Amino acid sequence: MSAKCDMKKSDGSVDLPVVSVVIPAFNEELTVGQVVLRTCQVLEELNLPFEVIVVDDGSHDRTAFICEKSGVKVLRNEYRMGKGMALRKAFNVCRGDVIVTLDADGSHQPEEIPCLVTPILNDGFDVALGSRVFSLGSSLRVRFNHLGNLIFSFLISLFSGQRFLDSQCGFRAFRSHAVKGIDISSRHFEIESEMLIKLVKKKYRFVEVPIRSKLSGSSNVNVLVDGFLILGKILSCVAS
């Protein structure tokens, strides 16, 4: 990219909402460059001021270098601290009125960012959640993860009184004050569940938006370890 895309300003005199896109990344040198490029292109087309923040979570490869070369803001963790910590670090410095989160591995399509932002800007929703469609032809690991997602989505729906189809999808958009108005303690992948339950308790308005997802057999999620962390976080949030 030739142009920096840290924070873009509107040329008009009217104050427009700012969009912050947060991309946590761990050893994603093969995909993060294209994700960042496509994200900036989509945000340019929205004609809104924006910023893109990549959190390099202690990567051992060229993830941070590639992102810095693209001109986006890069926050670095000296060692791997977990997705939850990476997102929390970015939320603390986001300047946007709307915050979007998506993964750096290419599983989420940046071209669908407007699908998540529009319900918030135009339709009065506070949170827009990506809802993935899983294929029966997906790998065994993906299908096993999907089974876990169904279980967690059922539990969160049961305990919160609000139905969620895909509670573990990391492609989301929030009003900034909603995210910054809850106390988040998660360090790893349980952050998705914690945020959902705490935002429901705050009576925010949710919408789920169907998205395309390119999933492979590889994943940073440890089915057993992270599964127990997610379950424990759901139970603790419900009990609090």
| 19-25 vs 98-101, strand pairing mode | parallel
Positions in the chain whose pLDDT score sits under 50: 1-7, 9-10, 13, 135-137, 140, 217
Q: Which two tokens stand for residue 72?
A: 């986006």
pLDDT at 15: 83
pLDDT at 173: 98
Residue 154, classified by CB atoms within 10 Å of its CB into exposed (0-12), middle (13-18) or buried (19+), is: middle
pLDDT at 7: 44
pLDDT at 136: 46
C-beta separation of 125 from 138 below 8 A: no
| CA proximity to 103, closest of 178, 8, 192 | 192
pLDDT at 141: 54
Q: Is 130 helix (H, G, I), strand (E, B) or coil?
A: strand
pLDDT at 13: 46
| 102: CB partners within 8 A, 6+ apart | 21, 22, 23, 35, 39, 108, 110, 113, 170, 171
pTM (2 decimals)? 0.90
CATH superfamily of 19-239: Spore Coat Polysaccharide Biosynthesis Protein SpsA; Chain A (3.90.550.10)
Task: Specify the length of the chain in residues.
Answer: 240
CA distance 83 to 186: 9
Residue 198 is given by DSSP the state H
CA distance 50 to 73: 12
